[in-house]
Amino acid sequence: MAPFLGATRQYLCLSLLKNSALSVMSVFQLLCSIFMSLLSRLRSGLKAEIGIFFPMLVLRVLENVLQPSFLQKMTVLNLLEKMCEDPQLVIDIFVNYDCDVESPNIFERIVNGLLKTALGVPPGSVTTLSPAQDIAFRHESVRCLVAIIKAMGQWMDQQLRIVETRPPKDPDLDSLGVESNSMLNGEEGSAIDYDLHSESYGELSEAANLEQRRAYKIELQKGISLFNRKPSKGIEFLIGAKKIGGTPEAVASFLKNTAGLNETMIGDYLGEREEFALKVMHAYVDSMNLEKMDFGEAIRFFLRGFRLPGEAQKIDRIMEKFAERYCKCNPNSFSSADTAYVLAYSVIMLNTDAHNSMVKDKMSKSDFLRNNRGIDNGKDLREDYLGSLYDQIVKNEIKMNAESSTPQKQANSINKLLGLDNILNLVNWTQPEEKALGANDVLLRHIQEKFKAKTNKSESIFYMVNDVAILRFMVEVCWAPMLAAFSVNLDQSDEKVIVFQCLQGFRQAVHVTAVMYMQTQRDAFVTSVAKFTFLHCAADMKQKNVEAVKAIISIAIEDGNYLQEAWEHILTCLSRFENLLLLGEGAPPDSLFPAVPQVEADEKAPKSPAHQLLKKKGAALQHPGIMAVLRGGSYDSVVPAVNVTGPITPEQINNLISNLNMLDQIGNYELNHIFVHSQRLNSEAIVAFVKALCKVSMSELQSPSDPRVFSLMKIVEIAHYNMNRIRLVWSRIWQVLCEFFVSVGLSENLSVSIFVMDSLRQLAMKFLEREELANYNFQSEFLKPFVIIMQKSNSAEIRELIVRCVSQMVLVRVSNVKSGWKSVFMVFTTAASDERKNIVLLAFETIEKIVRDYFPHITETETTTFTDCVRCLIAFTTSRYNSDVGFNAIAFLRFCAVKLAEGGLICYGGSKEASDQVNGDVPDNHTFTDKDEHVYYWVPLLTGLSKLTSDPRPAIRKSALEVLFNTLRDHGHLFSLSFWIRVYKSVVFPIFDTVAHGKGVSLDGQSTEDIEGLLLENVWSSETCALAAQYLVDLFSGFFDIVRLQIKSVVSIVTSFIRNPTFASIGVSAFLRLTSNVGNMLSEDEWQGILLLLKEAAASTQPSFLLIKKTMDGIEIPDSVEAYPEGDLFTENELPNDEPEDDSLQVASYCVSRMKGHIAVQLLIIQALMDLYKTHKESLTPLSVMILLETFSSICHHAHEMNSHAILQEKLHKVCLILEASDPPSLHLENDSYQNYLKFLQTLIDDNPSLSEDIGIELQLVAACEKILEIYLDCAGLPIQNQQLPGDRPKAKWVIPLGTIKKEELAARTSLVVSTLQVLCNLEKDTFKKYICRFFPLVVNLIRCEHSSGEVQRTTTCIDVR
């Protein structure tokens, strides 16, 4: 192969060079044919040569737009089209030239040249082409562009192994898997020989490496462009981008060897006086080898790379350095560098004088000799030397300026890079066309040397890639020119051929850009085709626009898997197309609000053609949709331009009629084909398709004048077609649809919302036909839009429709509903609090049927479903429209309990976690066995009833309490101990939180209104608490054997009632009821525990007296105030007046009431203690008895303390006088407490003498008697410190008679004192003697003091007798 390539370079390439300038068509066609053969078969070995021949043969002709040879350019265009038949050839050209820094951008120049040709001759330009020739060029160039993009697509398909005719069997799994876009080793036909280097191929065939090479080239060209404008900035940019080195030598090499640099700018930069630029100039000159060169030849060689600047100082610096370099390379040429410097200036002046047409008096040879006399250190240079130099300059001008114009700058720079300047100069030479180039053997040898030099470079290695990522870089180069060429020609031409070619180009471009996921480029091509459909302006449509519609449909079918966001443009066109089809069939657009109602006759008659609709039915022209079609609008306008003023002309109507007839070429089949075959799209594509369809449907429905439902109906169809996709993909689809249905379902347009909800119902019914496995929740997600719209919609009609839809779906598909129950119950829960009574009743009617007839289905999947059902029923208990609904809901809760007790449920292992979610936490360190698993269904039911007991409506509270505790009572035998613990913690105890943790009512800072509110709240709570306490005690008593460990908590709740003055009687009754029921079964420790709790409760009530005292101490009670009836103090209106005395009286009145309540509590506790002992004295241990005694003693002491506050008692008495109310019975409390205390002690002594002796009951009895007598004597005016002891000498003193109040008090205390004396008299003889010394002085004083009656004195006689 190598000898053959060598011979080809030596003979064939040389022949091509010699004949390239000939314009003989037969020769040119032969050249192109040979060049095509080289491209097809030998491009791998002739990379450098092809890089030269391409600009010389192809690009030179292609880029000549104004004055080309018609036959030559047509030959070149045919050549390019033939090249594109080999897709690998197109790719190889881009990879080996456009991605090679040292090579021209052949692919880019081909595309840009074709674009210029496709756009035609610019207006106003002078050209030799006839209009027919220009059109032919345009058509052929478009054909070439189509061939290029088609070749790219074919190569891409080959690498990716895309089979367009057969869709994948499972599009979802195909797209979810790994995409086969890795590099594939493509092979070319056997006729093609690639001389590939394996090492370089392995390193450089990667798309990433090619991207780096291409990026390097682009950035280098950017730096060159910047240099050509501002040299210093360009050099700075290139150094910063590391494209050249930062040393002066590196910059000089760049200026000397880089193609594309402007020679004038190079000269300006070399002449700069800045330090770095000066060093660059020195390095530039020093890099030249001027040895053995004649001075004229040397200066000509020196000035070939740049043009001398116009500034004299810059020229001076450059020529000075040149002279130094020449003398250094040729030491014997001149005596000094000054001679060379002066002579160089003379040569420059001679060149300007001899070849400038503006100079009339030319310099003669003698003048030149005279000007250069004495320049060699005062000596003259040889005349023959100067004369020869003069003749060279005059005959052959030193060309210092670049003869390139601005538009051809890039081409000339590339020509310079490849050494083509002289070749193209010869091609453009004005010699006779028949003369060949054989005479210039020197030039040919020079070009051959260039070939050899490039062949030996590493860049001449030919690379072939098969990574499709390279197409991204190719598309970035060619997409904009192709888009411009296709768009302009499609817009300006109506010829079928050009229209077909342009649309083919668009289709191929969309295919490549879509598969390569180049979104911007893909959307640009799709949008352009969509605009050319003219569906937004049907009155101006032509046949080419119908062809554009066909192209859109073809793109959707062929490349649907890769369109992504571009689907929106396609579906928008389909929506508009369908609208026009309906109009063409004589049917009105599918508006929700037709402007002209259809009468029965029209419905029965066949659809009239379009011209009948538009001509005969003049009223139909007023329809917004038809008006919009006739008036047209912009492609991007969402809302039709209905408000555009101006009449509709007959011409517009006629055009529309004919255009609608043209649309019959397509029909509905092609339109529906896209939607039916959406099931063939892969997972990513179907999601994108649905997103775009929802967006288009949203724009249709949001039209204020012409809402349409075409896309909405297609959404339902699409969902139905793709319902069999795998669950992961369908979940993504439904996530998009869910957002859409919610957004549109909340529309202010009622008709739109109703239509959407009906569509959603259809989808839900279809989906519920499929069975769902356990522990999946897709049904719940599917029905979620109903829930969201139900919660957010302001339309009662929509909410009612949702309830009806959900009811219908559930009742029809009840056996298939699994996780969907959650959403169903959420809908009905929302309906329970609706403002419309009919919605509430409709929802409850469905819930009633579900619970009664389909209860097993509710708990078929998981416990949380039953929880949602319970919550739903509880929500209906709050209905404010119909109390029957609330009671029926509670009744159904009981029904649920019965069903649970029957055990007809299916349970799964996840129920424990579900119940934990209901309650929020788990009881402390309790585990549950498998046999207890079913009880978790009880948790949401019982918890719901428990929360319902705090409902503000008394009837509901009472009913909930009854159902709750009856349920626990009737079915508690099913519960284990561990579950009972949970029931008490999460169900029973929370009912009493208000009482158990409640505090007494604070009077500090409270206004009268606040106090009244607190009283009313307590009254409201007492109605529930009394019943709740009774149920609590009975429940605990009924399951005492199981829940025995909960006794402390239960008693704590009961005693908490005692702590609250409002509920004290309830607490005492419940305590006695509890001990009566379970007292015989309590152990000693349990008795002690509950009695200690009772003692603590009794003690906790006593501080309330201190609060009353503190409040009364801050109140001044007037001596005389107008009496107010007691009822007037607590009214719902304002106080009688706003005087401070009245406010104080209000507070004092409340204190009196609280004082009476406090006394009543103490009396209840005393009675409870007595009853407790009488009933359970056999069960009480000494420790328990001591607790009772301590409680008695504490109450007695507290009662005496209350009466000892004389000022408080006086204030209370005044208040009661003013209120015309009875005084608080504080004295009665004291007498009664001591009376019962004595009775209790005496009973203990009588019933159990041994116990009494062990715990010292006699001593406590005597101490109590002593205390009672002391209190009586103090009241009688004989305090202890004034009493006379036996043996004391009597002292004479005045005895003041007692007042009326004291006498009344003594009378009240008489019975207690008499009882006390009787107790002392009844003491045993030994005991009497033992304690006589303690109480005898008190008895003596009783005889001395004043009494209200003689009963006390008669009783003391008994003691005297003993």
Q: What is the pLDDT of residue 334?
A: 84
More confident residue, 1307 or 891: 891
Which of the four pLDDT bands, split at 50, 70 and 90, describes residue 776? low
Cα separation, 420 vs 1001, in Å, equals: 108
Give the model's pLDDT for residue 1222.
Answer: 87
Question: Mean pLDDT over residues 131-152, rounded?
Answer: 93
Tokens of 414: 């590339």
Q: Are the CB atoms for 578 and 671 separated by under 8 Å?
A: yes
The CA distances from residue 820 to 853, 916, 1048, in Å, are: 18, 21, 44
Average pLDDT over residues 144-149: 95
Write out pLDDT tens, residues 818-860.
Answer: 888 888 999 999 999 888 888 999 999 999 898 888 888 876 7
Sequence-distant (6+) residues with CB within 8 A of 991 are 946, 949, 950, 961, 1028, 1032
> What is the C-alpha separation between 937 and 911, in angstroms, rounded?
8
Residue-level length of the chain = 1362
- Once rounded to an integer, what is the mean pLDDT over residues 122-141? 88
What percentage of the chain carries pLDDT values higher than 70? 75
Selection from 304, 276, 271, 272 nearest residue 288 by Cα: 304
C-alpha distances in angstroms, 1319 versus 502, 1268, 1330?
128, 12, 15
Bridge partners of 1346, per DSSP, are none
- pLDDT for 611 beyond 50: no
The mean per-residue pLDDT over the stretch 524-532 comes to 93
Name the residue with higher pLDDT: 261 or 858: 261
pLDDT tens digits, one per residue of 476-505: 999 999 999 999 999 999 999 999 999 999
Q: Taking residues 85-103, what's their average pLDDT?
A: 87
- pLDDT beyond 70 at 1060: yes
User: Which of these, 971, 984, 1127, 1120, lies nearest to 1051 by C-alpha position?
Assistant: 984
Min mean pLDDT across 672-681, 1275-1284, 1320-1329 is at 1275-1284
> Above 90 in pLDDT, residue 220?
no
Handedness of CA 25, 27, 30, 34 (dihedral sign): negative
Q: Tell me: the pLDDT tens digits for 373-410?
A: 888 777 888 888 888 888 888 888 887 544 433 333 43
887: β partners: none
| Residue 514 pLDDT | 93
685 near 624, Cβ under 8 Å?
Answer: no
H or E stretch at 541: none
What is the structure's pLDDT at 912?
A: 40
List the structure tokens of 847. 């819930």
Q: Mean pLDDT across the chain, nearest whole number?
A: 77
Return the pLDDT at 74.
92
Chain centroid, CA 94 distance in Å: 43
Residues pairing with 379 in the sheet: 376
For a pLDDT cut of 90, what percent of the chain falls above it? 15
pLDDT number for residue 880 = 72
Residue pair 969/1034 in contact by the 8 Å Cβ criterion: yes
Please state, in angstroms and rounded to a whole number, the distance separating the CA atoms of residues 90 and 1115: 108
Q: Report d(CA 1341, CA 1351) in Å as an integer.
A: 15
Given pLDDT bands bounded at 50, 70 and 90, which one contains residue 995? low
Check pLDDT > 50 for residue 1240.
yes
Chain centre distance of CA 950: 39
Return the higher-pLDDT residue of 990 and 1141.
990
Phi-psi region of 326 (alpha: psi -120 to 50; beta: other; left: phi over 0): alpha
How many helices (H) and strands (E) in the chain?
Answer: 66, 0
Residue 649's pLDDT is 62
What predicted TM-score, i.e. pTM, was given to this entire model?
Answer: 0.68
Q: Examine the residue annotation and report whether 311 is marked as an active-site residue of this protein.
A: yes
Instruction: Give me the mean pLDDT over the 772-780 stretch.
Output: 69
**With contact defined as beta carbons under 8 Å apart, do 65 and 117 qualify?**
yes
Output the six-digit token pair for 496.
Answer: 């079928």
| pLDDT number for residue 685 | 92
- Does the structure show a pLDDT above 90 at 447? no
pLDDT category at 445 given cuts 50, 70, 90 is low
Distance CA 1056, CA 995 (A): 6
**922 exposure class (CB count in 10 Å sphere: 0-12, 13-18, 19+):** middle
User: What pLDDT is recorded for position 486?
Assistant: 94
Spatial separation of the C-alpha atoms in residues 335 and 340, rounded to whole Å: 9
708, β-bridge pairs: 591
Which among 1191, 1004, 1224 is positioned nearest to 1101, based on CA atoms? 1191
Distance CA 1157, CA 1166 (A): 14
pLDDT in tens, 418-441: 333 433 333 333 333 333 333 345
Mean pLDDT over residues 924-938, rounded? 52
Query: Which pLDDT belongs to residue 1263?
Result: 85
Can you tell me whether residue 376 is helix, strand or coil? Answer: strand
Quick one: tokens of 1237?
């205390």
Residues 187, 311, 1009, 1220: which is the catalytic one?
A: 311
pLDDT of residue 827: 92
Q: Give the residue-averaged pLDDT of 1032-1054.
A: 90
Encode pLDDT of 1105-1158 as tens digits.
Answer: 888 888 888 888 776 545 444 444 443 333 444 455 667 888 888 888 888 888
pLDDT at 439: 35
pLDDT value at position 565?
A: 92
pLDDT computed for residue 1273 by the predictor: 82
**SS3 state of residue 678:** helix
